[in-house]
Amino acid sequence: MLPIYVVNNFGQFNHLIHRALRDLEIEAAIIPNTTPTERVGEECRGIILGGGPAIERAGNCHEYLDLGLPVLGICLGLHIIATRFGGNVHQGRSGGYGPVEVEIGEPDDILAGYPSKINVWASHADEVSELPPGFTCLARSSICNAEAIALPEKQIYGLQWHPEVSHTFEGQRVFENFNKIILETRV
């Protein structure tokens, strides 16, 4: 079975995404965000766009979104998705990395099995200020109106928070759900 590619956008937690997948016995590999688009399209079954310091350093990530593969964007990965599809990202009011209570309004495929409120860890230095056309807001918080978004018909999902860190409530569930979405897509 082909792996899920974790795209390294120079974030400090990308290795934890890979580790979380491995701990769930989900085949995964970390790749640089400069990996040629054709290779990515041929060599994996899904893509996780990891976090990072700046959208200007996102390499080929915008192109990966045109491959027709399921995509999960985390933090900067969410911002890449939003800007690629016509949304806007702006500097967050709350800034730094820390705990946030998130209210899940739409327990879509990627958030299946979660209660209506969860505690997560997130950076809000930047956040989605305007959803891309066609996307649905799945979760929000008191400091951010777009904590999670989705375009389910294309299996594209984005989270502001970091499911890979231990402080996030049942973060592994996001990766299990993403793997399930991929497996169902491949049938």
Q: In what order do the strands lie in the sheet with 148-151?
A: 28-32, 4-8, 46-49, 71-74, 156-159, 148-151, 136-141, 88-104, 117-130
44 labelled catalytic:
no
Pairing of β 136-141 and β 117-130: unpaired
184 labelled catalytic:
no
- 12 touches 74 (CB < 8 A): no
75 labelled catalytic:
yes
Distance CA 138, CA 52 (A): 22
Asked whether the CA dihedral 105, 63, 59, 177 is positive or negative, the reply is positive
Distance CA 135, CA 148 (A): 10
Annotated catalytic residue, options 44, 61, 75, 144: 75
Annotated catalytic sites, by residue? 75, 162, 164
